Amino acid sequence: MFYQSTIYNLKFIISCLYFFLPAYFANMTPPIAKKLGVLKSLAKPIDFDKKFFGKPIFGSHKTWRGAILAFFVGFLTALIQGFLFNFELFKKISIIDYSRINIFLFAILISLGEIFGDLFFAFVKRRINLKPGAPFIPFDQTNYVFGCFLFLQPYLKLDLKIWLTILILTFFLHIIFNRLGYYLKIHNAKW
């Protein structure tokens, strides 16, 4: 009995991580693109350096390059998930039935949700006078989970246990991968 529940829990965790891969990959894209110097012409602030009540709207670090590439990577990852659903292994670990949803809509929603969550909490950080890169725990680690929830939940109506699991896993995974990115000089902050 213990063995079966452990296997079930591990499969559930893997399924949650797999479901959220488009958002994870989208979130990792901007710092990697910056490090590689990809599309430098798009490395311009989304807020056009405009202010809102004397404070930056998002900050100069939130760029068109980051948003466009994050969207593209998230969208492409979701389409790949839709294709992989044809294989039994991926069917077994999938939380959703990719053959019964509009995969293009899913790809758009998860990608836009990731970007929205990131931008919304950047906006909040500027309002409370936190500089880009300043710690805003736990929101720095989980902002895109909230964005994806807002965009996807009305469409998919997933069990809240799935979202809670993704939220908790993302918090810890984000810290681990940001530390790794910091030591590889890809990311400016450890958190």
Strand runs labelled E in 53-161: 55-56
Q: Is the pLDDT of residue 22 over 70?
A: yes
Element (H, E) at 77: helix 64-84
For the residues of 82-94, what is the DSSP string, one character each?
HHHTTSHHHHHH-
pTM for the predicted model, two decimal places? 0.92
**45 φ, ψ to 5°?**
-60, 135
Report the 10 Å Cβ neighbour count for 161: 10
Token pair in block for residue 45: 């602030």
Task: For residues 64 and 61, give the distance between their C-alpha atoms in angstroms, rounded to a whole number.
Answer: 10
Of 175, 106, 117, 182, whose CA–CA distance to 150 is shortest?
Answer: 117
Q: Could you read off the pLDDT of 100-112 as tens digits, one per residue?
A: 999 999 999 999 9
Token pair in block for residue 80: 């790949």
Percent share of the chain, pLDDT over 90: 81
Q: How many Å from the N-terminal Cα to the C-terminal Cα in the chain?
A: 38
How would residue 35 be classed by pLDDT, with cut points 50, 70 and 90? Answer: very high
Residue 107 near residue 78 (C-beta atoms within 8 A)? yes
Mean pLDDT of the chain: 94
Alpha-carbon Rg of the chain, whole angstroms? 17
Question: What's residue 4's pLDDT?
Answer: 65
